[in-house]
Amino acid sequence: MLGTKTDYWILRMLAHGRNRATEEELDREGCSSLTPEQMGAKLPRVLDRFEGHLPLSPDLHYLDMGCGSGELTLGLAQHGAKHIVGVDYLPRFVELARRNATRASIHADIRFECADLHTWQPPRKFDVVVSFDALEHIDQPGEFLVTMSRFLAPGGKAVLSFGPLFHSPHGYHLYWACQVPYAHLLFGLDAIAAMRADRGGSLKQPASWREMGLNGLRFRDYAASVERAGFEIVRFRPIPVKGLTRLAAAPLIGDLFIFGVDCHIRRPR
Whether the Cβ atoms of residue 217 and residue 165 lie closer than 8 Å to each other:
yes
Report the distance separating Cα 10 and Cα 125, nearest Å: 50
Report the distance separating Cα 170 and Cα 173, nearest Å: 6
Span of 85-94, 172-181, 243-252 with lowest mean pLDDT: 172-181
Q: What contacts 214, CB < 8 A, 6 or more positions away?
A: 136, 137, 166, 171, 172, 173
For residue 36, pLDDT over 60 is answered with no
Classify the C-alpha dihedral 165-88-141-239 as positive or negative: negative
Mean pLDDT, all residues of the chain: 85
For residue 121, pLDDT over 80 is answered with yes
Report the distance separating Cα 68 and Cα 90, nearest Å: 8
Quick: pLDDT tens for 50-63.
888 899 999 999 99
Whether the Cβ atoms of residue 58 and residue 80 lie closer than 8 Å to each other:
yes
* CATH (one of 3.40.50, 3.40.1620, 1.10.3470, 1.10.287) for 4-15+122-266: 3.40.50
Quick: pLDDT tens for 240-250.
999 999 999 99
Q: pLDDT-derived band of residue 39, with 50, 70 and 90 as boundaries?
A: low
Mean pLDDT of 205-219: 92
What are phi and psi for residue 239, nearest 5 degrees?
-100, 110
Q: What is the DSSP string of 88-138?
A: ES-HHHHHHHHHHHHHHT--SEEEEEE--TTT---SS-EEEEEEES-GGG-
* Residue 161: DSSP 8-state: E
| Pairing between β-strand 232-240 and β-strand 258-266 as defined by DSSP bridges | antiparallel
